[in-house]
Structure 1
Amino acid sequence: MPEPKSAFDATYPCDFYEPAELFEPDQMYTIPEIARLLQELEPDAEVDPDTEAVLIDWAIPWVMTHAEDLVIAEPLEEDGPGYYGVAPHAVEGKAGGREAGEGEEESEDADPQDGA
């Protein structure tokens, strides 16, 4: 049931990390590890199952929202989890924001015959 904003003592900006800020460029992470990182915890931090479920509920939409700046790998074991990492273009564009990554994508589509 929705609650009026006046019911809360305070509200805060909904500000999340970009993948290049959250991940080490040479590492791949599972959803539970991403959930911990989003809460400024170590990827292997112990959390109780109920807390982990809530953290994962927040992490899944974050992964979907940032999909263009992520890479994914097959599970290491048949029944293991998938792994996510920051895409190279997102790391390279970290200093320049999204525009650097977008320009890189356009250059891949350029016609080599045009000399571009």
Structure 2
Amino acid sequence: MPRPKESFDETFPCEFYTPEELLDPERMYTIGEIARLLQGLEPDAEVDEGTEAVIVDWAVPWVMINAEDLVIAEPPTEEDPGYYGLRED
């Protein structure tokens, strides 16, 4: 159910990193690693399964919105996830 804005103590701007601000141009990342970076965590930070599901839900649209600036690589095996990195022009 929607809530009135005045029912919150504080609101914040909804700002996201650009791919160039977030990703090392020499590395490729999984969606889970990108999700951690978007939260200010290290790519290999331990998070519980529920938290990972939530942060991945935020990362997928970020990848889609920034697709023009990204490249994708085939996973090393069929069981592994895909990897994303910065597009080089």
**Smaller-chain TM-score range?**
over 0.9
Q: Are positions 1:74 and 2:74 aligned together?
A: yes
Secondary structure of the 1:71 match is strand
Aligned to 1:53: 53
Aligned to 2:87: 87
Structure 1 portions without partners, runs of 5+: 90-116
Aligned to 1:104: none
Q: How does 1:24-39 map to 2 (within 5 A)?
A: 24-39=24-39
User: CA-to-partner distance for each residue in 1:12-35, whole Å, 9 max, x for gaps?
Assistant: 001110001101001000000000
* Percentage of matched positions with identical amino acids: 67
Amino acid at match of 2:88: P
Aligned to 1:114: none
Normalising by the residue count of structure 1, what TM-score does the alignment of the two structures yield?
Answer: 0.74
Q: Are positions 1:20 and 2:20 aligned together?
A: yes
Residue correspondences, number = 89
CA offset at residue 7 of structure 1?
A: 1.5
Return the alpha-carbon distance in structure 1 between the equivalents of residues 74 and 2 of structure 2. 39
Q: Which of structure 1's runs of 4+ aligned residues deviate more than 6 A?
A: none
CA offset at residue 4 of structure 1?
A: 1.5
The structure with more helix, counted as a fraction of residues: 1
**Aligned-CA RMSD value:** 0.8
Q: Which has the larger radius of gyration?
A: 1
